[in-house]
Amino acid sequence: MKCEDQIAFFWIGKTVATPTLLVKSINLIYGKNQPKIYHLTDTNTPNIDGVTDTIRNDLPKEIMLARLEAYKNFPFNGKHTFFCDADSLFINKLDLLKLNFHLYLSIRKENSYVYSEGYPEFKNKTFKDVMPFLFGAIAVKDGKEFFQNLLLICKDLPERFHNWYGDQYSLKLYQDKTKFTYKTLNIDKYLHITKDEIDINLMVQLTRRNVKMITFKGKGTKRFMLGTIKNLFKIRQT
């Protein structure tokens, strides 16, 4: 049966080492029956081997606006597309055909206080207060209007949100305003967050638990992606 999964990620920059590892993990997990993989980017970022298509746009220089603009311009086709962060690795197939609702979001689990320097509206607020949704795992069928509305909200925010926090904060504001309907992804499966390398023993456990994707969050954590994908290759060969 032909794979119907569609995966999209946003990445801009002079180097593409991080998203290349993401794509390699997808290629490895899906084998001969590959999903469609879309790199959403600007007009200057190098091509990445292994993707189905590179969708280029003339994007704003502000990273939050650029991301939302790229998502908004994705050529939606009536099938679910899984939007993920580029600093991620897949360890199991998604199987998006099992999703039966138009929009799936990821709900934040951690509830620490927001780093609020430069963001006075976040003082003494927790992440769940102001940014309960994560942007690293979203599955949506026809998301053009959805992302367009988020982009418009983000543009109206103070400029400091255009480079940090803007995507997640806009999503919270949009939900507060419209009460749009959505279902949730199991964050333990679809957005397993780590700050360390995943060793072979833990990798075996995660794959057996049907975890779909690992995301590396925090300063300096991307250096653990290479060792983690090597461990993924090892267990796939046994």
Mean pLDDT of 198-222: 93
pLDDT at residue 209 tops 90: yes
Q: Looking at residue 177, what is its pLDDT? A: 96
* Residue pair 35/99 in contact by the 8 Å Cβ criterion: no
Burial degree of 195 (CB within 10 A; 0-12, 13-18, 19+): exposed
Q: Which domains does the chain have, with CATH numbers?
A: 6-188 (3.90.550.10)
Taking the complete model, does pTM exceed 0.85, yes or no? yes
HSE-CB for 2 with a 13 A CA cutoff: 3
Question: What's the whole-number mean pLDDT along residues 127-152?
Answer: 96
The conformational region for residue 81 under phi > 0 = left, psi -120 to 50 = alpha, else beta, is: beta
Identify each DSSP E strand in the chain by its residue range.
6-10, 36-41, 53-56, 81-84, 88-90, 103-107, 133-140, 183-184, 192-194, 213-216
| 32-73 pLDDT per residue, tens | 999 999 999 999 999 999 999 999 999 999 999 999 999 999
pLDDT band at residue 93, thresholds of 50, 70 and 90?
Answer: very high
**Over residues 83-89, mean pLDDT:** 97
